Amino acid sequence: MTEVDLHIKALGARGDGIAEIGQGKVFIPFTVPGDVVRASLKKSKDGFHRAKVLSILEAGKERIQAACSHFTTCGGCSVQQLTNSNYRYWKQDIVYQALDRKNIDTSVLKNLIQGNPYTRRRIRVSARRLAKGSVLGFRERGSRRVVALEECPVMVNEILCILPEIRAFVTQSLKIGESAEVAITYTSNGLDITLILPTEPDLASRERLAAFAETHDVSRINWNLLDSKFQHGAEPVVTRRVVKMQFGDIAVKIPPDAFVQPTAMGEKIIREKVTGAVEKAKRIVELFAGCGALALPLASKGHHVSAFDLAEDHIAALSLAARSHGLGERIKVEARNLHRRPLLGSEFDNVDAVILDPPRGGAAQQAIHLAASEVPIIAYVSCDPHSFARDADVLISGGYRLMNVMPFDQFLWSQHLELIGIFEKD
Q: Which residues are catalytic?
A: 383
Q: What angle do CA 211, 212, 213 make, to 5 degrees?
A: 90
In whole angstroms, what is the distance from residue 325 CA to residue 246 CA? Answer: 13
> What 3-state class would DSSP assign to 291?
coil
Cα dihedral: 414, 415, 419, 425 (round 10) = -170
Query: Which string of b and e fits 36-67 if b means at least 16 CB within 10 Å?
Result: bbebebeeeeeeebbbebeebeeebebbeebb
Query: Which residues make beta-bridge pairs with 17?
Result: 11, 28
In whole angstroms, what is the distance from residue 5 CA to residue 220 CA? Answer: 53
The 10 Å Cβ neighbour count of residue 157 is 10
In whole angstroms, what is the distance from residue 348 CA to residue 294 CA? Answer: 19
In whole angstroms, what is the distance from residue 277 CA to residue 424 CA? Answer: 10
In whole angstroms, what is the distance from residue 394 CA to residue 108 CA? Answer: 17
Question: Any idea what DSSP says for residue 28?
Answer: E
In whole angstroms, what is the distance from residue 68 CA to residue 61 CA? Answer: 20
> What 3-state class would DSSP assign to 185?
strand
Sign of the dihedral through C-alpha 349, 351, 353, 358 = negative
Q: Are 392 and 356 in contact (CB under 8 A)?
A: no
Kind of pairing between the strands at 220-225 and 2-7: unpaired
In whole angstroms, what is the distance from residue 295 CA to residue 274 CA? Answer: 11
Kind of pairing between the strands at 353-356 and 377-382: parallel
In whole angstroms, what is the distance from residue 64 CA to residue 56 CA? Answer: 13
Among 384, 372, 310, residue whose Cα is nearest residue 341? 310
